[in-house]
Amino acid sequence: MENLVIVGAGLVGSLLSIYLARLGYKVRVYERRMDPRKTEATPYRSINITLCRRGLCALERVGISEAATNIAVPALGRVIHDPLSKTTYQPYSNRGEAILSVSRHRLNQLLLDHAGVYGNIELHFNEECVGLDLQSNKLRFQNRMSGSQSTCSFTRVFGADGAFSRLRDHCQRRTRFNYSQCYSIQAYKELVMPATASGEWPLSAGALHIWPRGSYMLIAFPNTDRSFTCSLHLPYEGDPSFGSVRSEQDLLALFQHSFPDACALMPSLVQDYAAGSPNAMITVRCFPWVIDNRVVLIGDAAHSIYPSYGQGANAGFEDCLILSQCIEQHGHAWDQALAEYQTLRKPNADAIAELSELHFQELRDSVGDPHFLLRKEVERRFNSLYPGKFADLYSMISFTLLSYVDAVHISRKQEALVQQVMSVQHCCEKLRSGEIDDVIHQVMRRADTEEFFFSSTKPGGGAAPEDKQDLSTCVSGAE
Ligand SMILES: Cc1cc2nc3c(=O)[nH]c(=O)nc-3n(C[C@H](O)[C@H](O)[C@H](O)COP(=O)(O)OP(=O)(O)OC[C@H]3O[C@@H](n4cnc5c(N)ncnc54)[C@H](O)[C@@H]3O)c2cc1C
């Protein structure tokens, strides 16, 4: 008899409980916070996240994707605001595909509502895991309301307790457990941009808005109430930084100089900024994720990444889907299933961690850069002419189910083709006049497209086997 326990009822722990319950297991979930369905989001820590196709696919398998879509706002691209408040729109794809902006708190409530429907899921709130004893297979909890302590036994425990996982702490003391953490030199604060007095969107709807300024930036995510949640990213030190922006005057000077159009739309800017300390961003890598076949790390507890690519939750949801498939495919032989789970997922977690670090620099430094914009346009032209064979990296990550590893592999090969086109004299003018199409056709003819895309999509664990479709169906979104 399996006695399964999940520590953490955040996004990943809640979804995992549903997957395990649907496989027929009885699951107990312990969460240290109050039930988020009975609380408001913590002010300034609401965190909007974006869901993309891989995250939605994992929700769809358990019948939740439609409900998640209903509480989200689609973003079809990003609007770049330059220092003179001039804007440029960059669509995320040629085909009108969108990522979905959703409140993390609201999504957590939704997942718990669904978990609550299963008779074989027990949810316990205000219970903080404070110890793990692998001799006796027992977890120790402290109730955060009463202070009382209790224990619970398990045959397997899942650490879905986030980037600062208590269960992972325990594993770190074991021989041959590898662990690294790396803090970004940047942090972020959440600020509010409300709907206008007449209830309209303050900025154009249907997009994320970005103010890239080299070493710092502002990003705005749309909410269902027509407000935007903004993240101000600054370094900890330097100028400007969270260290240098200390007073109301410093803050207003920064905003009036760097984000004048946003500043005018943020009446509570000063209060919001003063309300909390900067939130750190951390990359955590560790291995193994399965210890003694009894402790299993999943989601941020196994791989915490920078938020820049918008993939942390999507990757964690994909972990749940893949783990569930491994259990089914191995006929519930847990040892084999868990071994396969970590073998499939670890390289993908490493790939998206690296991409997230690179993408953070790209958002901050490059999205407004003319060379970068030209490259994006060339990539879009490749995709328009060869929709079944060419997709840029962002599209492969956000709008396909290719594993992260495969997407990176394909993108590296594609990059060489894009460079060939970019090195053509007067590339920009030729793009405008349409002459570039001949160059793209020549480059594609020379490339061995068979080898180019499909031999590289070997099983890698990013998606369900039946979703290991070729790029044409992935990119077009056809099911
Ligand atoms: C600013 C920001 C923006 C982001 N944007 C995106 C995005 O656009 N797209 C995306 O996909 N991801 C995004 N992410 C990442 C995403 O939020 C995380 O990857 C996701 O929340 C991870 O889910 P999780 O359940 O693994 O961990 P968490 O959400 O951290 O949940 C862990 C849970 O465990 C509980 N817990 C912790 N310790 C204990 C304990 N000892 N005992 C009991 N319970 C415990 C916590 O209270 C919490 O509820 C973003 C993150 C940040 C910070």
229-253 pLDDT, tens per residue? 999 999 999 999 999 999 999 999 9
* Mean of pLDDT values over 425-448: 90
φ, ψ dihedrals at 96, nearest 5°: 70, 25
**Does residue 154 contact residue 137 with C-beta atoms inside 8 Å?**
yes
- Asked if 195 contacts 202 with a C-beta cutoff of 8 angstroms, the reply is yes
| Long-range contacts from 433-441, C-beta under 8 angstroms, 24+ separation | 436/378, 436/381, 437/381, 437/385, 440/381, 440/382, 440/385, 440/386, 441/385
Instruction: Confirm or reject: Cβ of 36 under 6 Å from ligand 1.
Output: no
Atom of ligand 1 nearest to the CA of 281: 53
Residue whose CA lies nearest to ligand 1 atom number 27: 162
Taking alpha carbons only, the member of 129, 72, 138, 131 closest to residue 99 is 72
Residue 94, pLDDT score: 83
Q: Using CA positions, which residue lies closest to atom 39 of ligand 1? A: 161
Nearest residue by C-alpha to atom 5 in ligand 1: 49
Instruction: Say whether pLDDT at 471 is over 70.
Output: no
In angstroms, the CA 330 to CA 338 distance is: 10
Q: Which range is least confidently modeled, 205-219, 315-329, 436-450, 458-472?
A: 458-472
Q: In this structure, which residue's CA is closest to atom 19 in ligand 1?
A: 312
Give the start-end residues of each E strand in 300-365.
Answer: 303-304
Expressed in angstroms and rounded, the spacing between residue 304 Cα and the centre of ligand 1 is 9
The predicted pLDDT at position 469 comes to: 37
pLDDT, average across residues 75-96: 92
Report which of residues 47 and 300 the model is more confident about: 300
Pick the more confident residue, 475 or 368: 368
Q: How many CA atoms lie within 13 A of 76 on its CB side?
A: 9
Phi, psi for residue 282 in degrees, rounded to 5: -135, 140
For 446-468, what is the mean pLDDT? 47
Mean pLDDT of the chain: 90
The Å distance, Cα 48 to ligand 1 centre, comes to 12
3-state secondary structure of 282: strand
Average pLDDT over residues 459-464: 40
* CB of residue 29 inside a 6 A radius of ligand 1: no
Residues 6+ apart with CB under 8 A from 86: none
pTM for this prediction: 0.92
Rounded CA-CA distance 460/404 in Å is 8
Establish whether residue 128 lines the binding site of ligand 1, counting it when its CB lies within 6 angstroms of any ligand atom.
yes
Give the contacts of 19 (CB within 8 A, at least 6 positions apart).
Answer: 61, 62, 320, 321, 323, 324
Residue 367 pLDDT level (bands cut at 50, 70, 90):
low
What pLDDT was estimated at residue 456?
A: 35
Give the pLDDT band (50/70/90) at residue 465.
very low
User: pLDDT at position 1, please?
Assistant: 80
Which atom of ligand 1 is closest in space to residue 300's alpha carbon? 26
pLDDT score of 459 more than 50:
no
Between 333 and 308, where is the model more confident? 333
Q: Cis check for the bond before 288: say yes or no (omega within 30 of 0).
A: yes
- CA distance linking residue 261 with residue 84, whole number of Å: 9
Distance 301 CA to ligand 1 centre (A): 9
Give the alpha-carbon dihedral of 208, 212, 215, 221, to 10 degrees: -20
Q: Which of 115-124, 235-244, 438-447 bottoms out in mean pLDDT, i.e. has the lowest?
A: 438-447
